[in-house]
Structure 1
Amino acid sequence: MQQLWLKLKDISDLIVFKHSVFALPFIFVAMIVSSKAQSGTVWFGFKLLIFGLLAAVSARNFAMAFNRYADRDIDKYNPRTANRPSVDGRIGTFNMQLFIALNAIVFIVVAYLINDLAFYLSIPILIILGGYSLFKRFSPYAHLVLGVSLGLAPIAGVVAIQESIPLWSILLSIGVMYWVAGFDLLYSLQDMEYDKANGLFSIPSRFGKEATFFISRLFHAQTVLFWFLFVLSADLGFLAYVGVLISAIVLFFEHRIVLKDFSKIDRAFFTLNGYLGIIFFALIFLDRI
């Protein structure tokens, strides 16, 4: 039993399971908004709740495991990442390949069980999720690819409910894309010198710290704009606008914390952004009921 617990802990370390908090709220924002518009209720049923969770978790497991697998040669020389299970031997190459394949299969099967459009989109989504891991080797804009990867979450949510992609879901997704890309820019400042020394492409390594701060602020301003347009386009109510306002305040404090003391990047990255997603979801939920 202890061996099983240790192995599960290694897998959790590999995929950083706690970071699922970034995508899940926005999948369910899209699902409740779509369900309310379709059937007059925010409750879309246990079947889609379970399928939504399975699809979200398997897609994220695939993306994170593929990223760790593809980056083994990079991570083993970086002091910040040298103790990852994919590098230090806790999880072997074959086991990582098996984990990646199993999660890809689960995602595709769940998509097939949801509806035709979800199934048709499943393979392209997996290709995009895996693409982030390769972009840093030739393009400084991998941050945006990561943003697109998480930005697919609301699209997946609305497709599950109504098998279409309305304008409001695209606006919500673009906001998520800029949100994720903006905080990934701040997080990647930790590896700026390592990326420079090893010829890796990132905005911090190519354009420097000050430019990175500016671009991150610009991305987060776009986040607020597109979430405002989402609320407007979906014809949501007062509490949804409050959610956008609170998101803007949280992002402001995130930048203030990082500018003041860069050693607190983990607090800004995980804690504040985790709360942002949960609060945004809660206010949209309350608005719809």
Structure 2
Amino acid sequence: MVQIQARGQTGKVMDAPSGHWVYRLLPPSLWPYAQLARWDRPIGWQLLLWPCLWSAALVASAGAKPGDDIWTVLPSLWHMVLFLIGAIAMRGAGCTLNDLADQDIDDKVARTRSRPLPSGQVSRKQAWVFLGLQCLAGLAVVLQFNWFTVALSFASLVIVAAYPFMKRITDWPQLVLGMAFSWGALVAWSAQTGSLSLSPVLLYIGAILWTIGYDTIYAHQDKEDDALVGVRSTARLFGEKTKLALMLLYGGALMCFAGAFAVAEVPMPALAGLLAAGVHLYRQIVVLDIDNPEQCLRLFRSNNIVGWLIFAGLVLGSLWVVVKPVI
């Protein structure tokens, strides 16, 4: 387990992975900040990144047909690099804001009470400064795009700022998380076109449903502690009906994704990736044991595979249609 210095004492960070590169490369004085931004847990920024990459691939492959230039059906590499940097920066900022808002709650939950703020490794002032630096990095990324996309990106800040407080007032904080985490589906499309249409909106709605599903699985890890401290979640709301809820959420997500593909007129082979993603999501539901926290965490993390399957289907499907006449 990772060891870090806190107020002159060595303590364990319960939910930090062992042996991560963050703790090998960074000096111990920076480890608490890595914890705040969750740099040692990349699944968060990966799940934030996927709607961006899906949308970038969707807009590039829209209407692809035999004879098209191969480079025109591939998503912009420059945009994908920007989305990567932005996802890491804004996920870190969101986690830092969440920890600032939840310091009192984290101190009462076994899995989170050793985090930097409740354990005293970082002061609230230091955390706010770190939050500002991450937001500046995100701003630098956003300013590379057209002004419509800049305005669209700023609009998401209302949702991001509201999310940490939703678990106190609604059983659906995962819905607000989904709205924030899926915003990249709109941003990536507008970054390329300077506008929005039905296709990215359908992709956005589908990504929201997907996010509610996988974060419900994640929330089952803490449901007992959450009940004690009054934190609300879809995990507690659905309870024993979680599998049925996941069938509806994941099924709805796949239908929205298929609709986005159809409206954008992407090549049919792209549906192969969507079908494979559906099989993976169905398996999650079948094997899920909501009373097994370790398995819930594994299944939550496996949604990165869903991201890869859908993205690969869009990219490889377009390439297949374009290069097939040559073959």
Task: Calculate the TM-score normalised by the size of structure 1.
Answer: 0.89
Are 1:132 and 2:154 an aligned pair? no
Are 1:245 and 2:275 an aligned pair? yes
Once the two structures are superposed, the pairs formed by residues 1-289 of structure 1 within 5 Å of their partners are 4-17=26-39, 18-19=42-43, 20-37=45-62, 40-44=72-76, 46=78, 48-205=79-236, 207=237, 209-259=239-289, 262-263=292-293, 264-270=295-301, 272-289=302-319
Deviation larger for 183-192 or 130-139: 183-192
Q: 1:249 to 1:36 in 2, by over 3 A?
A: closer
Deviation larger for 228-237 or 137-146: 228-237
Structure 1 runs (4+) deviating above 6 angstroms are: none
Letter in 2 for 1:35: A
* Identical-residue share of aligned pairs (%): 23
* Per-residue Cα deviation, 1:59-80 (whole angstroms, up to 9, x for no partner): 2222121112111111111012
Tell me, yes or no, if the aligned pair for 2:185 and 2:204 is still in contact at 8 Å: yes
Structure 1 residue 148: Cα displacement: 0.9
Q: 1:216 to 1:8 in 2, by over 3 A?
A: farther
Tell me, yes or no, if the aligned pair for 1:14 and 1:65 is still in contact at 8 Å: yes
The separation in 2 between residues aligned to 1:8 and 1:250, in whole angstroms, is 37
Tell me, yes or no, if the aligned pair for 2:102 and 2:164 is still in contact at 8 Å: yes
The separation in 2 between residues aligned to 1:2 and 1:249, in whole angstroms, is 37
Q: Report the secondary structure of 2:118's partner residue.
A: helix
Q: 1:242 to 1:261 in 2, by over 3 A?
A: farther
* Per-residue Cα deviation, 1:14-68 (whole angstroms, up to 9, x for no partner): 233312221223312211332344983315253x344333322222222121112
Tell me, yes or no, if the aligned pair for 1:257 and 1:268 is still in contact at 8 Å: no
Q: 1:43 to 1:245 in 2, by over 3 A?
A: closer
The separation in 1 between residues aligned to 2:48 and 2:279, in whole angstroms, is 20
Aligned Cα root-mean-square deviation (Å): 2.4
Structure 1 residue 242: Cα displacement: 0.9
Q: 1:51 to 1:186 in 2, by over 3 A?
A: closer
Tell me, yes or no, if the aligned pair for 2:108 and 2:229 is still in contact at 8 Å: no
Structure 1 residue 89: Cα displacement: 2.5
The separation in 1 between residues aligned to 2:230 and 2:187, in whole angstroms, is 35
Q: 1:181 to 1:7 in 2, by over 3 A?
A: farther
The separation in 2 between residues aligned to 1:2 and 1:45, in whole angstroms, is 30
Structure 1 residue 288: Cα displacement: 2.3
Task: Calculate the TM-score normalised by the size of structure 2.
Answer: 0.80
The separation in 1 between residues aligned to 2:84 and 2:161, in whole angstroms, is 20
Q: 1:43 to 1:236 in 2, by over 3 A?
A: closer
Deviation larger for 163-172 or 98-107: 98-107
Structure 1 residue 261: Cα displacement: 6.8
Structure 1 residue 4: Cα displacement: 3.8
Structure 1 residue 2: Cα displacement: 7.5
Q: 1:246 to 1:37 in 2, by over 3 A?
A: closer
Consecutive unaligned residues in structure 2, runs of 5 or more: 1-22, 64-70, 320-327
